[in-house]
Structure formats: structure tokens, C-alpha cells
Amino acid sequence: MKSLLKFITCGSVDDGKTTLIGHMLFEAKLIFADQAKSLELDSKAGSREGRIDYSFLLDGLIAEREQGITIDVAYRYFTTEKRSFIVADTPGHEEYTRNMAVGASFADLAVLLVDASKGVITQTKRHARICALMGIKHIVLAVNKMDLVDYDQERYEHIKQDFEELVSNLDLESVRVIPVSATEGDNIIKKSQNTLWYKEKALLPYLESIEVKQKVKRDKFLMPVQRVSRPNHTFRGFQGQVEAGTIHVGDEIFVLPSHEKAKVKSILVSGKEENSAVYGQPVTIQLDHEVDVSRGDVLTISKELKVADMLTATVLWMDDKELVEGQNYLIKVGTKTLPCMVVTIKNQININNGLKTPVDKGIKNEMIECEIALSESIVFDRFENNEAMGGLILIDRVSNMTSACGIIEQSVNRSNNVIWQETDVTREIRATQKGQIPLTLWFTGLSGSGKSTLANEVEKRLVARGFHTMLLDGDNLRHGLNKDLGFKETDRTENVRRMAEVSKLINEAGLISMVSLISPFKKDRDDAREILGDSYIEIYVNTPLKECEKRDPKGLYKKARSGEISKFTGISSVYEPPEKPHIQIDTSKYTLEEATDLVMKQVLEYLS
Amino acid sequence: MSKLTHLDQLEAEAIYIIREVAAECENPVMLYSIGKDSSVMLHLAIKAFYPEKPPFPFMHVNTTWKFKEMIEFRDQVAKKHGITMIEQINEEGIKQGINPFDYGASYTDIMKTQALKQGLDKYGFTAAFGGARRDEEKSRAKERIFSFRNKNHAWDPKNQRPEMWKLYNTSINKGESIRVFPLSNWTEKDIWQYIKRENIEIVPLYFAKERPVVEREGNIIMVDDDRMKLASGEKVEMKKIRFRTLGCYPLTGGVESEADTLDEIIEETLSAISSERTSRVIDHEAKGSMERRKREGYF
């Protein structure tokens, strides 16, 4: 069986990528007769000077043929006597960089073209860097259009030197520089008579012979779970592809991130029962006992994999929309897709020299180093150790666009209080689910005015009508959340602030909140209104002080009068009445039922 | 690097893709056209989930002009594997008497593209597997494996989602869908070699046999039933022919051949001087015709 080489052609626009591949296929007699005939016909109609335009073989989209450019990757399949090839011909325009990256993610080798008359330019450097980012270890620089510089060796050497300097800080295993002419056919299939000074192989023979086997950095079994299969009660199999190492029936494995252990009971390799499976095979694995495994988990024997909920990554930003800190995306790593947030944008990597510059946003086609916080811990490896566990994509949650692709560098400890904020289900969604408008009914008034009694009755009525509610009583919260607070003015202010914040959370949960709190100062109530926004409905229970003191349900007025309690509202501390409460009620004028009726009538208006 | 053979790698890639769709997409369906590529895709789906049955139904868009042998084969296969096979026909087109002889390109649109869209909408499928390969045609060569379609099933070739490594993005909004091509990286030769290696059953029309044919505009068309009207000067002859691709019999040209075993077919494929699509009458219409149809929702 012949080996397979997957490669791409890349480089700047008009450097002749498409023509190079077209010529290679044509000369090597690797296209069908009908395609060759159609090529000749197309060329007569469309090309410069009626010569065969080899690019017509690959530019398959109408827009591409009209504009004479490559927009998206084209895949071609061909076989020579020595090797099978899949070539992805990628676009050179900066605008279509992401399509070039698609091709690069797929390939083992890149044929990067430069125009001999122009030399190494920014786009050449960008493509070289993207190739390295996406994991390509072998680059051939094809110095094209040698015919335009009279096959000048000096020109070639000059470009070669520039290029070798460029790639010296990239992690590559082989670099080869070949002088070619895609239109004339020099050094494509066989050595050209025009470049006798060039002693190495021509392009195709070089591609036929180069060894691209990657060094195995991870040799212990690992398999990300794609799917759990349970067709019946007796079978529970975990489907996935082996991404490293070998596994045998009877081996002990563990599940990440849970670390639960189990033994392999059976292995199906593409549907057939086998004793073992190796890297690259699609398998279904049964374990000897029930363990909790779901999609996105990893079965492994490797202790080198990492589990973390925050990581640094280098990404190629591909979206027209800018990347800014605090933005939410879906991230996919291995077979795990989950919400994430780009919390810190650290550096932009300079396309020309690889140097890092601190930035606070990412723009299309830039390479950006950033920190990503995940909604839960995931299993991963550094990309350079294992492609399958170290590559990532970010998906925009509104447009569903693949906004970025990148590689994981390392995990980060969550030191700077970054807390994941789940934003998928919003306040509106929760409220809609409950069919209500989440308001805060803020009962303010003197001690003994009947706030709590009234709030309690209103809540009962609301629940009876099918509303979802929560009651926060100022006195009761002083036993727990607010037990560190006294009755000083500053403590009272803090007390009100906390009640407002808690009530806001309750509203965010979609619930109607009732707060019963003296809240005597106008400024504090204004702060609460600020925190709660439009949800804040002020209910002033304006029962006269005389009546309140008469009721004195907790005996507090008595203590205040005797001086046992200081700073008691109405006696030794002021109550500032609300100027424009939403609802007002004097409980001394009505029975409890009447008062409740009156308040309910108005509350229901706000709730509809 | 893997020690697997080229065919093993292609098989692994296709199974991975099929499983990703089953795991991530809400309501997938596998399009089944009865041809050799569909036979390979069905075989891979069975392997991907064994001993479980494929967790999605299959759908055949029937123009009602398929070869008789294809329909028989389809029903046998569905029965043998115990899978759900939905047959989708554009009944409105039948009522209007749309046929391949009198309606040309609009026949393909109405009986294939429209029927397909009707079927996908009717069942609310969010992902549909197709057996298309990139080596078939130039616009196919440009298409992603997970190919996004808007609410009108249209493809936007100038704005495809990036597709990196094996990290397929299956996110869509309501009403949108994805076409998925697990055989994207297979060539015609790979298909035949895999059919041989796995001993996959295919419709007998692929093997050379004496069949009743007429010559029409340079194509050898088989007279499969009496709906085929003969033009003056045309006469039915018996010729030993086989088909490289299968579709609607009046639109599918056969090739004269002696190849009646898989080995001979593979031999013939390797030395073929024309691409397989030359036997599909519809592809000759105009440059870019495939892309136009795909933009309108064709597979």
C-alpha cells in the first residue's frame, strides 16, 4: 500500500499556487481526458493569450472564475507510482486567511510559494506562521516565476536566506527551498535545464520521497468519548477514536476528569470484536463495571493529561467581529463542547517577526495569546504533545460562526478571582418559564406598621394565583446573612444594600421578591432602587406612629421609650417618609383582609 | 503517524464524522441514493454503531424514474439491516406530469431538489448525510465536510465556516441545517477498493451485462420500462454495458464494458480516461451548474 501525503499550497495571491498544482496534475497525466479537454476549452475562452490556464482545473466556484482568484480551499486527489496525495490548494488573499488555515489544519506539509521577483513578503510570513501554528512540521518554499528573473541563482540564494531566517524560530522539522516556474514547468516534475546550479530534487520527486512521520510524543492510550451507546440493558459501550497508544482487553484504564478506574471488558474495532486497538482506529469499548462516563470524557492510561477550568491559548482570530475581554463563546476541545469566556487578552503575535505585543483586543487574521475560563473542568494536553487534545475552536453563541481556532499552551491557576458567570439562561428566560414579571415589592414603614403581616398575606394571595415568590424579612435576615450588623446608621445602610442585592438575585431567578424592612432613610431606599432598577416597587405602609406604638408587637417601643434601645426609628431616630411610593396603605384604617385587597389590586396591575 | 492503511484512515475519518453527528445534532437523517457511494456510507453507519442500529433514519428521494433494480435493491437492504427507510416523492410534481424527457433542468429541480427540501422540512431534520465526494466535481472539491445551509437550504460558497482538524462546528439556529459528507476525501478508486475489501453489496447495474439500450446524443441510455419513448431513427439494441454512476435511467449513460467482476471494475476505473461524471447527462449543461443547483438546495 502506498503511503499518503496530505499537503497544501499557500503563499500570497498571484504567486501561482493554483497554477503550480494544475501544472503538476496536467504534466503528470493525473487528470481525466474530459477534464483536460474542458481545461483547454476554458483557457481559450478565458485566459491570458489563449495559453492553457492551469488554475481553471481547481478554481471551481463561479465567483473564483469570474474574479480569477481562489476564495476557498480546493481539495485534489492524485496518485503517482510512488505515493498517494491529497492537496489542498488554499487562497492567498489576506481576506481569506481563515480558509488557508482550514487547509493548514489538515496537512502534514506545506508548499509555500513566493514570487522570485518580489521575494519574501508579509503574506509569505503570515502563512508560514499559520502553518506552524496549525501543526505543520515540513515546509517547501517554492521560489516561483524563476523565468521572470532569468533563472538567477543569486536571486534564489537571497530569498532562501530570507526565508531561513524567518523560519529559524518556528518549530519545524524540515525546510527545503526549490526554484520553480509553475507556468513553464521548471523543476516541477523533473529537473530543469534552466537551473543547472540547483542540485536537489524537483518538487514532485521531493514530495514523493519526503518522510513526514511525526515523532510520537504521547504513546499511552487515550480516547476522547464521542458517544455512549446503550442499545439494550446488557450493552454499554463508549465510542470514539484512539488518539494515542494501544489498548488491550483486560487493561486497566481510568476516566478523566473523574479519575474513576475500570478494566476493559471488550473492544470493537470498526464494528468487529478484537483483542486490542491502536492509534487511529475507531473503537467501541465496554468496561467491566458501571462507571459514570459521558461524551467529552477521556478514557486513558496516561497520567500526562491535564484537567483544568482555565487555560492559555494562542488563537487565530477569524471573525469580522472583534475579540474583546469578557466575551462568551462555546469552546470545543476533543469531543467536549462547553461555554467559556475569554477573560484576558494578553498579546498579539507579530506576523513578521513573531514578537509579542500586549493588546486588549483581537482583530480578524491576527494571532492572539489569551486566557480562557471554562464553565467546568476539561481534559486536555498541550497541542505540541497531542493534536487531538490540544486544538480548540471558539464558536460565537449568536451567529454560530467558528470565530477562532487555536492551540492550548497550558493551564492557568485561577488566582485573580475570575469566577465563571453562566449567562446562557437569562433572567428573562427564567421569568418567562414561570410566566411572570419578577418584581421586588419593597415594604417600608415604622416598626409595628404591619409590613411583615401585610407582606405575608400578599405572598399567600400571589402563591394562590400561581405566582412564584420569596419573602425576605428584615428581622429574620439579621439572624443569618446580616448578623454582623447593628443599628448604627452605617450598619442600617449596609443592611438595606444587602437586602437589595439579595432581592436582585431572587428577581434574576425569575421570582417575585417581597422585602419587609423599615428602611427609614430616603438615601438607602434610593440605593435599593438603583440596584433593583425597574423591578423596584415601593409600598409605603404609613400606619401612624401612635398606632404602631399602641400595637408594639415585639415590645420594642417600650424599650426605646425607657432608653433600653437607642436609635429606634420613630422615637430616637428619624423615619424619612417616601415622597412618591408606588403604593401606600394605612393599616389602621382597614381590617387586614381589606388592606390586603387594596394592596393586591395595585400589585396585580404592576404584574400584568 | 498512524500505521493504518489509506483505506483504514478513510474509514476511521468517516466513522468519526458519522458519530459526531449522531452525538451533537438533534435530528439527523442519512440520505440514501442506492448508488455505490450510498452503499459504502450505509456500511460505515452500521459499523460505526454496531451492535446498536444507526440512531437515525435513512431517506431515499425517489424521482419515480430510477432503475427498477435500484428500488428492489433498496427495499432488500432496508429489510436486511432493519433500518427505517423513508421514501420521499414530490407528489405535486407527479400530478403535474413532470418527467425527464420533456422538462430538462426543471425536472431535476422539481423531482430531486424540491423533493429533498420537502422531505427535510417535513421531518424537521437538522443534519443530513450525503455520499458526495470532493473528487467528483469542482464545486464539491471546495465544500466543507460539515456544510451549513440556511433556512432555505441554500449554500453560500463564498462564506463557508472554517473547519479545523476534527473539531466540527455543529451549532445552528432554528430552521437551519447542515449537510454532512463523510466520504468527502474518498476517490472513486477508494470506493471500489473498499467495496471489494468489505464485500459490500451493490446494485447489479454496476456490473456489465447485456441490456436493452438506445443511443441518444452520444449517451447509451437503457430502456428500463415502457415510459421511454423512442425518437424516430432510434432503435433498441442489446449491448453489454455497465454503469459508473446510477440515477434516473433516462439521464444516466452507460458504458460498454466487459467488466462483470469487482476486480475488472477496479481495473477499468484505474485506467479510465474520463471522469465518472461524464456519464451524468445533467452535468454537461453549463459550467458552474452544480454550484448553482447546490446553492438552491441540491445535495
Q: Do B185 and A75 touch (CB under 8 A)?
A: yes
Q: What is the 3-state secondary structure (H, E, C) of A310-378?
A: EEEEEEEECCCCCEECCEEEEEEECCEEEEEEEEEEEEEECCCCCCEEECCEECCCCEEEEEEEEEEEE
Q: For residue A61, what pLDDT is reported?
A: 63
The whole-angstrom separation of Cα B213 and Cα B234 is 10
Mean pLDDT of B37-66: 94
Q: How many CB atoms lie within 10 A of CB B46?
A: 15
The whole-angstrom separation of Cα B255 and Cα B140 is 24
Q: In this complex, is the C-beta atom of A582 within 8 Å of any C-beta atom belonging to chain B? A: no
Q: For residue B38, what pLDDT is reported?
A: 94
CATH number for A307-415 (one of 2.60.120.10, 2.130.10.30, 2.40.30.10, 3.20.20.190): it is: 2.40.30.10
- Where is average pLDDT lowest: A24-38, A387-401, B156-170? A24-38
**Average predicted confidence (pLDDT) for chain A:** 86
Tens-digit pLDDT profile for residues A455-490: 999 999 998 888 899 999 888 888 888 888 887 778
Q: In this complex, is the C-beta atom of A63 within 8 Å of any C-beta atom belonging to chain B? A: yes
CA B249 to chain centre: 14
Assigned CATH class of A222-300: mainly beta
Distances (CA, A) of B165 to A40, A118, A391: 36, 32, 8
- Where is average pLDDT lowest: A187-196, A230-239, A533-542, B150-159? B150-159
Strand B177-180 to strand B219-222: parallel, antiparallel, or no bridges (unpaired)? Answer: unpaired
Task: Name the DSSP letter for residue A509.
Answer: T
Set of chain A residues whose Cβ sits within 8 Å of the Cβ of B156 = none
Name the CATH architecture for the domain at A4-209: 3-Layer(aba) Sandwich (3.40)
CA A463 to chain centre: 41
Which of A71, A134, A226 shows the shortest C-beta gap to B19? Answer: A226
Report cis status (omega within 30 of 0) of the bond before B204.
no
Set of chain A residues whose Cβ sits within 8 Å of the Cβ of B291 = 60-62
The whole-angstrom separation of Cα A203 and Cα A208 is 9
Distances (CA, A) of A56 to A70, A142, A189, B63, B141: 10, 21, 20, 33, 13
CATH topology match: A222-300 vs A428-607: no
Mean pLDDT of A285-300: 93
Query: How many beta-carbon pairs below 8 A join chains A and B?
Result: 176
Q: Do B165 and A391 touch (CB under 8 A)?
A: yes
Q: Is A448 annotated as a binding residue?
A: yes
Task: Name the DSSP letter for residue B97.
Answer: T
Q: How confident is the model at residue A343 (pLDDT cuts 50, 70, 90)?
A: confident
Interface test with A, best of B151, B169, B278 (most A CBs within 10 A): B169
Q: Are A239 and A283 in contact (CB under 8 A)?
A: yes
Q: Give the closest-approach CA distance of A465 to chain B in angstroms.
A: 34
The whole-angstrom separation of Cα B90 and Cα B268 is 37
Q: Are A301 and A252 in contact (CB under 8 A)?
A: yes
How buried is residue A419: exposed, middle or buried, by Cβ count under 10 Å (0-12/13-18/19+)?
Answer: exposed
Q: In this complex, is the C-beta atom of A247 within 8 Å of any C-beta atom belonging to chain B? A: no
Q: How confident is the model at residue B284 (pLDDT cuts 50, 70, 90)?
A: very low
Q: For residue B146, what pLDDT is reported?
A: 94
Q: What is the 3-state secondary structure (H, E, C) of A61-84?
A: CHHHHHHCCCCCCEEEEEECCCCE
Q: For residue A20, what pLDDT is reported?
A: 85
Q: Do B6 and A84 touch (CB under 8 A)?
A: yes
Tens-digit pLDDT profile for residues A243-272: 999 999 999 999 988 888 999 999 999 888
Q: In this complex, is the C-beta atom of A281 within 8 Å of any C-beta atom belonging to chain B? A: yes
Q: Do A279 and B51 touch (CB under 8 A)?
A: no
Q: What is the CATH number of domain A428-607?
A: 3.40.50.300
Q: Give the closest-approach CA distance of A162 to chain B in angstroms.
A: 30
Higher pLDDT, A233 or A2: A233
Q: Do A281 and B142 touch (CB under 8 A)?
A: no
Q: Is A355 annotated as a binding residue?
A: no
Q: Are A316 and A268 in contact (CB under 8 A)?
A: no
Tens-digit pLDDT profile for residues A99-153: 889 999 999 999 999 999 999 998 899 999 999 999 899 999 999 999 999 999 9
Mean pLDDT of B1-30: 89
CA B33 to chain centre: 5
In chain A, where are the structural domains located? Answer: 4-209, 222-300, 307-415, 428-607
Q: For residue A48, what pLDDT is reported?
A: 45
Tens-digit pLDDT profile for residues A492-530: 888 899 999 999 999 999 999 999 999 888 888 998 998
Q: Give ipTM to 2 decimals.
A: 0.87
Name all contacts of A190-194 with Cβ < 8 Å and 24+ positions apart: A192/A151, A194/A146, A194/A147, A194/A151
Q: What is the DSSP string of A172-205?
A: -SEEEEEE-BTTTTBTTSS--GGGTT--S--HHH
The whole-angstrom separation of Cα A214 and Cα B68 is 51
Q: Give the closest-approach CA distance of A512 to chain B in angstroms.
A: 31
Q: Is A504 annotated as a binding residue?
A: no
Q: Is A452 annotated as a binding residue?
A: yes
Residue keyed to cell 479537454: A37
Taking each helix axis from N to C end, the angle separating A451-464 and A592-607, rounded to the nearest 10 degrees, works out to 60
Q: Is A450 annotated as a binding residue?
A: yes
Strand A356-358 to strand A367-380: parallel, antiparallel, or no bridges (unpaired)? Answer: unpaired
Reading the block at residue A422, the C-alpha cell is 453562566
Mean pLDDT of B194-211: 92
